[in-house]
């Protein structure tokens, strides 16, 4: 069954360790994505396009999976059935909340993950709204104008 969900299956420990590993991976991915989105604001404020950022960073120390695959969640949101739902950003970042909770059960201090869980819904909502607006504008521009003949 697991082979349907992923290419690599790893035994990481006893019962419950798999969930902890999934949350560890998700926390790292989400926190990296949040930094990527926030850093883009700096670049864009100086007139640097997202494409230029990605071209430069891909060969620099700021490169990460989130940066290299930035278009995956962006494209996902364009087609998701909940893309216009206000609850989507919160759902998308739920693993950060779960990771914080799992850490607390082991009396761990995870303030960066906890902060990410609080910031993520708003950061994602703003990013996705911008992407949906750009997508809508692109569709409007590419729509074929209807001639007077076709209207009749």
pLDDT in tens, 92-111: 889 999 999 999 999 999 99
Give the whole-angstrom CA distance, residue 57 versus residue 51.
10
Q: Are 34 and 119 in contact (CB under 8 A)?
A: yes
Q: What is the mean pLDDT of the chain?
A: 87
Q: What is the pLDDT of residue 97?
A: 95
Domains and CATH numbers, the chain: 19-139 (1.10.1040.10)
Asked whether the predicted pLDDT for residue 4 surpasses 80, the reply is no
Q: The whole model's pTM is what?
A: 0.79
pLDDT in tens, 8-67: 888 899 998 999 999 999 999 999 999 999 999 999 999 999 999 999 999 999 999 888
Predicted confidence (pLDDT) at residue 141 exceeds the cutoff of 80? no
Percentages helix, strand, coil for the chain, rounded to the nearest 5? Answer: 70, 0, 30
């Amino acid at each position: 069954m697991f082979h349907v969900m992923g290419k690599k299956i790893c035994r990481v420990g006893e019962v419950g360790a798999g969930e902890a590993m999934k949350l560890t991976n998700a926390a790292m991915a989400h926190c990296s994505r949040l930094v990527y989105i926030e850093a883009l604001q700096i670049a864009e404020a100086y007139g640097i396009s997202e494409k230029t950022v990605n071209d430069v960073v891909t060969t620099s120390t700021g490169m990460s999976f989130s940066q290299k695959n930035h278009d995956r969640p962006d494209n996902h949101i364009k087609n998701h059935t909940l893309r216009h739902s206000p609850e989507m950003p919160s759902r998308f970042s739920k693993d950060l909340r779960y990771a914080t909770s799992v850490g607390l059960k082991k009396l761990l201090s995870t303030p960066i993950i906890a902060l990410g869980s609080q910031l993520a819904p708003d950061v994602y909502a703003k990013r996705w709204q911008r992407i949906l607006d750009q997508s809508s504008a692109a569709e409007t521009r590419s729509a074929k104008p209807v001639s007077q003949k076709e209207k009749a």
